[in-house]
Structure 1
Amino acid sequence: MSNDYAAVITTVNAAVLLVGTVQFSVVMGKFAERTIEGHREEYDLRGRVIEVLRRGEQPDSEDLRNLKRMRRRRLLGATKSFPAYTAAGLWFVLCNVLIVSTVKVLKWAGTANAGPNPDLAEDSFFIAAIAICVLVVEAYVMGFVKAHAGQKLTMRHYRAGFTADERQELEELIRRGARSSATLPSLVSAGVDPSSTGTTANPQGG
């Protein structure tokens, strides 16, 4: 290992460490915010229910249902967040390995008349290469996960806003390649006056 190599590998490790630390901090910060907010909301509601019980009154059934939904949502949220927490844990381990590798390289560079130490050079190279690969793969995987989650959310809103029959009707129209608004049965089903669309019926049928 040469001094030039030590300078290069130290710079690479520092850059990857910076990115990894930011990634870890962002994920854990979001986790802390969601956890604190969810627990505050749930335990505030629990406190209100206990106050009602103290007065000898029957708690509102809607509050009890909300508490049950909050518990289910908390468990479901932990399951959905598993990939992000796995990435955070991976970066935590990888950052510690990078720190150890960098310290060893710096120690070698600061030692007078240090030998070539090929084992340290090889180890530091593979650690840096793995860290760079993780950085690239994580960016790709997280982008794919976010895109998939956004697609599912959009589809959920679409299905919640329209009935299955309306969606099926649209699919049929798309397959038939309908072009004229006069062929849209949705105008009738929605109670829209055809005359308001600017289409005038021909009483002669021609």
Structure 2
Amino acid sequence: MSNDYAAIISSAIVALLIVGFVELHDQKKRAKEQVLAEEAVNFPRLQALFDRIRAGQQLSEDDLLLASQIRKERLAMARVFAIQLRMSAAWSVLCVILISALCLIFVWAAIDRHGPARWLAWYTLACTGLGILAVLAGAVVKGAAEAATMRRALARQWNGFDAEFEAFYQQVGEYEERQRTGEGQDPSGS
């Protein structure tokens, strides 16, 4: 390992550590925001259902549908939290590995007339490569999670419109068929 390599790899490790700490902070912040947003929406609805049950009222089909949707959302959120927890744990372990590599570089640099330390060069290269892979994997997982969140939001938004869309598209299809066959056109040609 040369002094130049030690300087370059130390800079790369510090950059990866910064990314790792920012990721850990961002994951914690997003998890907290998701819980607060979910509670703001679902807690009043659940409270109303529990109040009906406490009052001895039977829940309607709409109430049961709502409770089922809330349950599915909470289960999906639990799966997301499990993934976020694993990612946080992986980032934490990776940060410890990167810090150990950085400390070994500092010790190597502090020794007067230090040798080549090929094992340290390989170790730091492997740690840095692992860190870069983790950054890329984190970006992919985040993108997939965002896509799943958007898909769920759109499904929830359009859930009630399925019958209306079916009727709408049927009318559009009938109109297009009339246009193709010439039934809906003015016979005078104007």
Fold match, TM over 0.5? Answer: yes
CA contact (8 A) 2:52 2:59 kept: no
> Aligned-pair distance for 1:36?
4.0
Determine which structure has greater relative contact order: mean sequence separation of CA pairs < 8 Å that are 6+ residues apart, divided by chain length. 2
Correspondent of 2:165 among 162, 167, 177: 162
TM-score, structure 1 normalization: 0.63
CA shift in 2, pair 1:80/1:164, >3 Å:
farther
Task: Mark the structure with the bigger radius of gyration.
Answer: 1
Checking the alignment, whether the CA contact within 8 Å between 2:20 and 2:91 is kept in structure 1 is yes
Compute the displacement of 1:113 (Å). Answer: 3.1
* Residue pairs, 1:1-206, within 5 angstroms: 1-39=1-39, 57-58=55-56, 61=59, 65=64, 69-80=69-80, 82-144=82-144, 146-147=146-147, 150=150, 154=154, 157=158, 160=162, 162-163=165-166, 166=169, 182-183=179-180, 201-202=186-187
Q: In the TM superposition, what is the alpha-carbon distance from 1:104 to its structure 2 partner?
A: 1.3
User: Which structure 1 residue ranges, 5 or more long, are not aligned?
Assistant: 185-193, 195-199
Deviation, 1:151, is 5.7
Deviation, structure 1 residue 128 = 0.6
How much does 1:57 deviate? 3.6
Identity of aligned residues (%): 23
**Alpha-carbon separation, structure 2, partners of 1:155 and 1:46:** 21
Instruction: Measure, in 1, the Cα distance between the counterparts of 2:112 and 2:36.
Output: 52
Count of aligned pairs: 184
Structure 2 regions of 5+ residues with no counterpart?
A: none
2:70 counterpart SS class: helix
Q: State the TM-score, normalized to the length of structure 2.
A: 0.67
> Please, what is the CA RMSD of the aligned residues?
4.4
